[in-house]
Structures are given as structure tokens and as C-alpha cells.
Chain A
Amino acid sequence: MILIAIIIGCIIGALIGINIPTIPYTYSGYLAIAIIAALDSVFGAITSSLKKNFDMKIFISGFFVNAILAILLTYLGKKLNIDIYLAAVVVFVGRMFNNLGTIRRYYVEKITEKKGKKPEEKSQEKVNNN
């Protein structure tokens, strides 16, 4: 069910996004930061759902508030003549990689569990080494 909702949402979103008029280039910088923040929230949500501690309220508030905060920070940075959006990008992308790592580890563990006990230990070591 959730997968279907995601796919339908993605298709509708793509259609809307393609048909939207072009955004002025000046604002596309803010939008990019917002997208990064939102993506970070999404990956965070996936990670937490895998860890069984997913909270809808936290996800939604994180999704919107992070995006808006990122935009505000970028705006502030422009006013202060400092590239704050770089810091935001570093933080969000770093967190995205962390979350992706967690997700990867989870699935690798799952696959190795199916194959038997021995490979699981090996892969566990490997993952830890990584």
C-alpha cells in the first residue's frame, strides 16, 4: 500500500513539476537547498522506519521545517554575504550518506541472514570495517 502511494505520488509530482512554469534562476538556489533538506528528511524517515521508531509527526515537521529553515538560512547568508547554504548542503548531504549507509547495512544484513549464519558473520565484520 505504502509503495503504491509513493509511486502514484511520484508520478503526479513529476507531471506537476514538468508542467510548472520555469522558476527564476535567482530563486532556484533556495529551491535546491529546500530539495536537499527534504531529501534528507525522507532518508531519515526511511532509516527510522527500518529501526522501527518512525514517527509521522517528526517526519512531517522535519520535512517542512528543515526545508524552510534551509531556505531562511540561505537567505540570511546572502544578506550577510556569507555562503551559509554550503554549510547546509554539507550537513544535509552528510546526514544523507549516514542514513544511506544505515539503510544499506540493514539490507545487507537481511540478505546475509537468509543465506545462513556463516556469511552473516563475515558480512557483519565487513560492514563494521566499513
Chain B
Amino acid sequence: MEKNKITMISIIGIICVILVAVMFAQFKTVEETDITGIETAREEELQMMLSSWKTKYEEVEEKLIDTQQKITDYREKLTSNEQTSELLDKELEQINILVGKTNVTGQGVIITLKNNEEKTIEASDLRTLINELKLAGAEAISINDKRILNMTEIVDVNGIILINEDRIVSPYIVKAIGDQTYLSSALSLKTSGFIDSYQKLGKTVEMTKENKISILAYNSKKNQLQLKYAKEVQE
């Protein structure tokens, strides 16, 4: 009887322990659980979250594709712009060489004209020489390192030769870049060629062929190559 009672009491005690332990554990779980925490979320909540994230993911992916498309478009535009600018750069370079704003080098001839005791070199001689050189296809010409442009004047003012408004004196070294053979043969034609005819007149003219001639850029301080009156015609 006594033993029976003790077992009953102990069983009731054990059951109380189990029940209360589980209850408190549950209380603790419910209290501590952060509903938004992903580790503790219920399956249904997880499914909901998953589906919503999927939708978001799809939207974002669409945006991504859009943006990438835009980026490719921009890139294409950029490359085409780069091509254009490269072309423009090349053109600019060409034009700069053409107008004489850059130092240039290449094969050509050097003609030296000197005053001697009897004859002096005049501006007209230089003009004739320049014209001959241009006719023979000279691409860049300079006299005493004064670059000859299309606007360059070669004039006599009171016996002084002015080029690009700068005074130059003998000896006059004329450098011309172009086809060596053309230039030299054009100048050294028998009797009617520049060198022959001028030497006959008693002027000192010498010509040398050079494989590498350097011609300086237009560097006059007085005339800055700015057009005031000539305007481009807009069609």
C-alpha cells in the first residue's frame, strides 16, 4: 500500500517535470523566436518568402537584361564615336602637316643659294625656286627654317628679303621634302633647269640630295595664321 503510493507520487512528479519542462521550453521558443528570422520560420512562411523573392528575382533579372542591353548599345555608340574621333584625329594630323603646323621629316633636296661678289640673290629668285619645287611635287618647303605656307610671302623690301614677315639673309638654305628624283631632276634640267640657268647668270646655287630632311613647323610669332575676313560658306 505504502509502496504503491510512493510510486504514484513519483510518477505524478515525473509527469509534472515532463509537462512543465516542455511547456517552458515552448514558452521560451515562442518568446525568443524572431518571426522574420529565416532559420526559425515555418515552412509556409518560407514558401511565401521564396515565391516573393522569386518574383523579385525575375523582375531584377529583367532589369539586368535591360541594363545590359543599354550598356551594349552605349558601347557600340562609344566605339563608333572612337572610330569617328580616330578618323578625325588622322584627318587633323594630315591637315596639320598640310598647313605646316607640325615638324615633318622625310627624303628630299637641299638647295643652297649664296650671294657672291657679283650677284646677290633676290626674292624673285627664291619665288621662282619655290614655284619650281612646288611644281615638282614638294610637300614641305622651308627657307632658312622659315616654313613656306600658302600664305607665306617672299618679298624684297629695300633690298631685304622678308619671309613670314621675318628678315632672312644669305646664305639661303631651301629645304624641300618630296620625291628626291623628281625634285632633283626638275631642278637640274639642262639649260632650262633652275640650277643651270641661274648658274649661267653667275649666281651660286648648289643642290644636295638628302634621305632625311627635317623641316620645322610654322613658328612665326608675328603672323598667327588667324583668319579674320574669310568665312566658310555654309550651303
Contacts and interface: CB of A to CB of B under 8 A. Distances in A.
Interface in A10-31: 10, 12-14, 16-18, 20, 22-26, 28-29, 31
B115 to A, nearest CB: 110
A13 B5 CA distance: 22
B24 A17 contact: yes
Nearest to A6: B16
Interface string B196-217: 0000000000000000000000
Contact of A22 (B9, B22, B33, B42): B33
B25 A17 contact: yes
A86 interface: no
Contacts of B18: 13, 38
B9 to A, nearest CB: 4
A39 B12 contact: no
Contacts of B11: 56, 60
B26 A28 contact: yes
B9 A25 contact: no
A27 to B, nearest CB: 9
A13 B40 CA distance: 24
23 contacts: A2-B12, A5-B9, A5-B13, A9-B20, A10-B16, A10-B17, A13-B17, A13-B18, A13-B21, A13-B22, A13-B23, A17-B20, A17-B27, A17-B28, A20-B21, A20-B24, A23-B29, A24-B39, A26-B40, A35-B19, A35-B22, A42-B15, A56-B11
Q: Shortest 9 CB-CB distances between A and B: which pairs?
A: A17-B24, A13-B20, A9-B16, A25-B40, A9-B13, A5-B13, A13-B21, A16-B21, A17-B21
